[in-house]
Amino acid sequence: MARIILGSYMVRYPLGGMMSWVLQWILGFRRLGHEIYFVEKSNYSNACFDPVKSVMSDDCSYGIKTVSALFRHFGLPNRWCFVDSEGRYHGIPRSELESIFQSADIFIDMGTHGSWSEEAEKAGKRILVDGEPGYTQMKMKKTLDIGGSLPEYDYYYSNGHNIGTSRSSAPTAGRSWRPVFNPVVIDLYPFIPVDNNAPFTTVMNWQSHEPIQFRGHTYGQKDVEFNKFLNLPLLTDTPMEIAVAGKHTPKNRLIDFGWRVRDAIDITLSFQSFREYIQRSIGEFSVCKNVFVETQSGWFSDRSAAYLASGRPVVLQETGFSIHLPCGNGLFAVETANDARDAIAEIITNYKRHSFWARELASEYLEAGTVLRRFLSELGI
């Protein structure tokens, strides 16, 4: 049994999709018999989002309450720690957490931006897991180019399976990148029969962060790629819906093109509501961030993995992931609106078959036990 500390963010952004992403790793490690802890820091001002009040502030009470309840629900009441903007420890006390770091076999950084680097030096191995392939490496390279320094890790992993290969144009920032899928705990997403009139859906941010410029090119977000599929609802009789967040979302334009538009924050106030939204969908259609597409990073979505596990077929914009996951049964990689139309028509015509293969694909390629057992084996654990 290994002692594993995973650093990421849930308290600062306590919405269902974010909590689901981290939860799959945590529960996956626990089910393999390992001792798992979650840590997070608020290392800058106004870092905590309260989705009910719709404000960013230093008040972390909503996030702490939400994450604490989530960990209790899954039988991990004493396995999390959050350090607020004033340095106060919530959950695991500071003295106990220092002892846990000293005896940890591995520390996994999934978006802490180096805020636990000092503590992680005491752990056996330090691993970075990059969830923003292409974007992460560009930021790293730009930092190095101006003489800056980066947190050091023993191993570098990316959700982009093409990072560090000739298939992707993304830089490596001088690091050797290994691929890892976002895992999914299959039984967290049980199959429930769906209404034949249910829509294809997705949950998305219109623009997660500002574009990044690299080597004379500007790389954007989903706002850039969605235009390629804007007319999709006009090409199919199947309802198309997006639960979207972002102040720049052109809701009226989307509605004019036939999209049903929901508020992503309302949909994902909890892990349970996020899961229920997936279960009320007939499948997922989603675009990907422009930086993932342009660099052909090979990224595949943790959210799409949850749809597949639920027996909901997925139609996802190609990022190069089709080299690593079988497509055509339950999962389709598309580049144009016509491609998406044809995939949706095939799914609706043969729904039972594609629903079955969606769950089978998740079980064979993305199941947490399989993914994380291989991950730990590569680390010598």
The model scores a pTM over 0.85: yes
List pLDDT tens digits, range 219-249.
Answer: 999 999 999 999 999 999 999 999 999 989 9
Nearest to 206 by CA among 295, 317, 289: 289
- CB 179 within 8 Å of CB 365: no
Report whether CATH 3.40.50 matches the domain 3-185+367-378.
yes
C-alpha torsion angle, residues 87, 93, 99, 102 (rounded to 10): -40
- CB 313 within 8 Å of CB 330: yes
Q: What is the pLDDT along the chain (381 residues), one digit of tens a residue?
A: 999 999 999 999 999 999 999 999 999 999 999 999 999 999 889 999 999 999 999 999 999 999 999 999 999 999 999 999 999 999 999 999 999 999 999 999 999 988 999 999 999 999 999 999 999 999 999 999 999 999 999 999 999 999 999 999 999 999 999 999 999 999 999 999 999 999 999 999 999 888 999 999 999 999 999 999 999 999 999 999 999 999 899 999 999 999 999 999 999 999 999 999 999 999 999 999 999 999 999 999 999 999 999 999 999 999 999 999 999 999 999 999 999 999 999 999 999 999 999 999 999 999 999 999 999 999 999
Structure tokens at 103: 């005896």
DSSP classification of residue 335: S
Report whether CATH 3.30.1360.80 matches the domain 186-365.
no
Q: Where in the chain is the domain with CATH 3.40.50.2000?
A: 186-365
Kindly list the distances between the CA atom of residue 93 and the CA atoms of 2, 54, 211, 225, 323, in Å, as whole numbers in the listed order: 21, 29, 38, 44, 45
